[in-house]
Amino acid sequence: MKNIHAKFTFGLALFILLLIACQNSDNKKKQAGDKGRWLEEMTIPKLQFGYREGQFSVADVVSAYIDRIMEIDMNGPALNSVLVINPDAMEIAEELDKEMAEGKKAGPLFGVPVILKDNIDTHDRMATTAGATVLKNSFAPADSYVAAKLREAGAVIIAKSNLSEWANFRAKVSSSGWSGVGGQTLNPYVLDRNPCGSSSGSGVAVSANLCMAAIGTETNGSIVCPSNNNGIVGIKPTVGLISRSGIVPISYTQDTPGPMCRTVTDAAIMLGALTGIDPNDGKTKQSEGKALKDYSKYLNADGLSGKKIGVIKNLMGFSDKVDTLMRRAIADMESKGAVVIEVDAPESAGYENASMEVMLYEFKDGLKRYFASLGEKAPVKNIKELIEFNRRDSVELKYFDQKILIDADKKGDLASPGYKKALEQMLLATRKNGIDKIMKENKLDALIAPTGSPAWKTDLLNGDHYVGGSSSLAAISGYPAITVPMGFIGEMPVGITFFGRAWSEPLLIEIAYGYEQMTLHRKPPRYLVTD
């Protein structure tokens, strides 16, 4: 009887040990599939609180984000938003941990892992490619102003992101998020949907929690559209608030970098760290006395109260479902004390056509200057040589043409009467007779419109299928815009854009934050296979 009891006891113990071992194995498998899960939806204030309290180190955080990039972006579901991981990221993180241990004063972005769109120069072991094969081995001779400001503020540049090649200014027909260097970036909500561009990789990386924040660039829609399609917050600042030096250009008049984050709070913190007057970018001189180093004081949860806002009705109507979300958003704002009235913007055809002319002239001039900045290592010297390179390359023209490059090459210099006329026309229509006029006549604090439609299915044969959007008025005027999640249509996020006069970032942040805090529409993606 004792032997039977002993065998039973031994067997039971063995069963329990095996059960525990299996559970531990399952837990390990789960953890392996959820690397960096503890960082999901982390904000900059919470991250820096964790550093101060010793909950984790910068090295812990950077390592976890790199693991997530390797797992989610480069393996399953393979979002393809990141082109290259910074080989020096861990060394930088460890140095920051050492500085903290020594009690050195921390910058406003201390230990914040940031991903840069890969048209922003970094003087390190990461190339700056603009997504183009011709630049795949091009290493910048100096940091861009933006990269330098990030490092100065204590951020860790952990990677560079994929983008629509040449910031989507190359082909008559193209797929946003595709580049010759990186291929096609996927939308993290539904994988066969498009992330929009050109800051596609930046938007996807933020949404999928592959970094704390990212920097995108916009000429017309390239921050706000990927923010819309990927369910995040994007700020397109007034042109000149943040320097463009060291960024592969399209338009001197319209280009601007800007933060892309999961919350208005993080975007406001990022924005303040990037401002400043740069002698290498004349536009920044205009920000003197207007730029701030800290926009977080405008994070007012009651920011909608007493505000008069104009909804631009002729930027609606492209989607009944989007219009339904806009009506709900308006009702929400009114419930918090805002007054919302309907207004009309000038018809866009005239100023959009003029803008295209300006961009063609400025792209030709700007690219020539950028190639010259690379010195003797520049693979080409101008657009003409770039066009010829693409014709010989096996990847560059596989899916899409280069009509925009060809059209730009035909333009003259910036002294051309055609350029000057188009520039004057577009600025008059969007500024004096556009945003400034609408807001003055109606005594408005801000304007609103739906940012865009839900993401379309990616199509490498026929290109993008835009339904509608509202980026042009703010982009062409050079005025600020902030997009915030407004809700979902099916599984796809949709945003609302707040925009206004030049240098009105503080007011727009206050209004956008008030709306965000009362609605909290942001939710992380689930990497669905189909909608």
The residues annotated with a catalytic role in the active site are 117, 198, 222
Pairwise CA distance, residues 506 & 526, whole Å: 33
Helical H segments across 157-296, by residue range: 165-168, 200-207, 224-229, 264-274
User: Which of 420, 404, 431 has the alpha carbon at shortest distance from 354?
Assistant: 420
| Separation CA 248–CA 341 (nearest Å) | 40
Residue with tokens 């066009």: 387
Q: How far apart are CA 141 and CA 162, in angstroms?
A: 21
Render 339-352 in DSSP notation, one character per residue: EEEEE-PPPHHHHH
Query: Which residues make Cβ contacts (< 8 Å) with residue 128, sequence separation at least 6?
Result: 118, 119, 120, 121, 122, 135, 138, 139, 140, 160, 248
Angstrom distance (rounded) from CA 82 to CA 384: 29
Contact yes or no for 167/257 (Cβ under 8 A): no
Angle at 435 between CA 429 and CA 441, to 5 degrees: 110
Three-state DSSP at 233 gives strand
Give the H or E element holding residue 51: helix 44-52
- Show Cβ contacts of residue 268 under 8 Å, excluding neighbours closer than 6 positions: 235, 295, 296, 298, 299, 509, 513
Measured in degrees and rounded to the nearest 5, phi and psi for residue 260 equal -130, 120
Residues 6+ apart with CB under 8 A from 416: 361
120 three-state secondary structure: strand
From CA 456, how far away is CA 318, in angstroms rounded? Answer: 14
Q: How far is CA 251 from CA 99, 113, 358, in A?
A: 40, 29, 8
Helix (H) or strand (E) holding 257: strand 256-261
